[in-house]
Amino acid sequence: MAIYEHEVLIPLEPNKKIWRYLDLEKFKSLLEKKSLFFCRANKFSDPFEGSIPKKQFDFRIEWEKWFAQRHGKEFDEAHALSNIAGLQNLHKEFKNNTIINCWHINENESDAMWRLYLKDNEGVAIQSTTERIYNAINETKEKISLSKVRYIDYENDGWYHPIEYPHRGYNFYIPLIHKRKEFIHENEFRLFIEQPEARKDKEFWDKQESHKGRLIPINLDTLIDKIYLPPTIDEKSATLIKKLTIDSGYGFEFAQSKLSSEPIY
């Protein structure tokens, strides 16, 4: 089931193109497992994943003072700091037990994404759309939340913005859909699943096929619109990728990267 109408989530406009760039091994896994890999948020390379901006952190002690005054109590700094530490631990736990699958929003291919996600010329870019990904997720048994990522200055900005993000409430989803401005080139649309079972079972991740996350079965025919081949792929590699796809029982449309076209003078 696709969840995208929650007030703190940022929906993607209808019929937008989204892309997922995969090297050959990950593409093979996608075809063989017929599943998308959702990685645990604490396994991403960005240490700020799931964290909060400095302004939000600084506000916590002020909120504790307001809360004490609101309830006619004397402000107890030690108690307030204990509450804040408890909230920090809850955020870390939520991060550790939330899995994410990332897509790139763009009407066209991205040269930067090709370079970032492919170590060599062997791999693909899967092109889908908003409608396709919603339909594919609605066919699954999982409750999957979807949102665009918003990029802000973590030193100076807060989450709230009267136009861009007019939400004053507090929700554990919010840190998952915000990232630092330094990552704005990713233009990310993300899918994520909270795993409450992992909080109860300390061995939950050890029981999964990969301790880094979970494979979520999905209908690839519904999900995939077209598959793009890398700009500098050779004929042998292109033939291999197409054969892998056919042997896996799929008849996806293939397209050569437009970045490989010849210039006109």
Going from the first residue of the chain to its last (265 residues), give the mean pLDDT of each consecutive group of 10, the final group possibly shorter. Answer: 88 94 96 96 94 91 87 90 92 94 97 89 93 95 95 95 90 95 96 91 88 95 97 92 96 95 90
For residue 142, what are its two tokens?
């999982």
Q: Which of 131, 118, 132 is nearest to 241 (CA)?
A: 118
Q: What's the CA gap between 248 and 29, in Å, rounded?
A: 11
Q: So what's the pLDDT on residue 220? A: 98
Q: So what's the pLDDT on residue 41? A: 96
193, 217 Cβ separation under 8 angstroms: no
What is the pTM (predicted TM-score) of this model? 0.92
Q: So what's the pLDDT on residue 138? A: 94
Q: So what's the pLDDT on residue 63? A: 84
3-state secondary structure of 22: strand
Q: So what's the pLDDT on residue 108? A: 96
Domain boundaries, the chain: 2-260
Q: So what's the pLDDT on residue 262? A: 87
Nearest 5°: the CA angle 105, 108, 113 is 65
3-state secondary structure of 151: strand
For residue 261, what are its two tokens?
């076209």
Q: So what's the pLDDT on residue 169? A: 82
β strands within 32-74, DSSP E: 35-40
134, 222 Cβ separation under 8 angstroms: no
β strands within the chain, DSSP E: 2-3, 17-23, 35-40, 98-105, 123-129, 144-148, 150-152, 178-180, 188-194, 213-217, 226-229, 254-256
Q: How many residues does the chain have?
A: 265
Give burial (CB, 10 Å; 0-12/13-18/19+) of 16.
middle
Q: So what's the pLDDT on residue 218? A: 97
CA dihedral 241, 246, 252, 253 (to 10 degrees): 60
Q: So what's the pLDDT on residue 143? A: 93
For residue 234, what are its two tokens?
């050779």
CA dihedral 223, 224, 225, 231 (to 10 degrees): 150
Helices (H), 97-151: 111-117, 130-138
Q: So what's the pLDDT on residue 131? A: 95
For residue 223, what are its two tokens?
């999900």
Q: So what's the pLDDT on residue 157? A: 94
Q: So what's the pLDDT on residue 174? A: 95
Q: What's the CA gap between 198 and 260, in Å, rounded?
A: 45
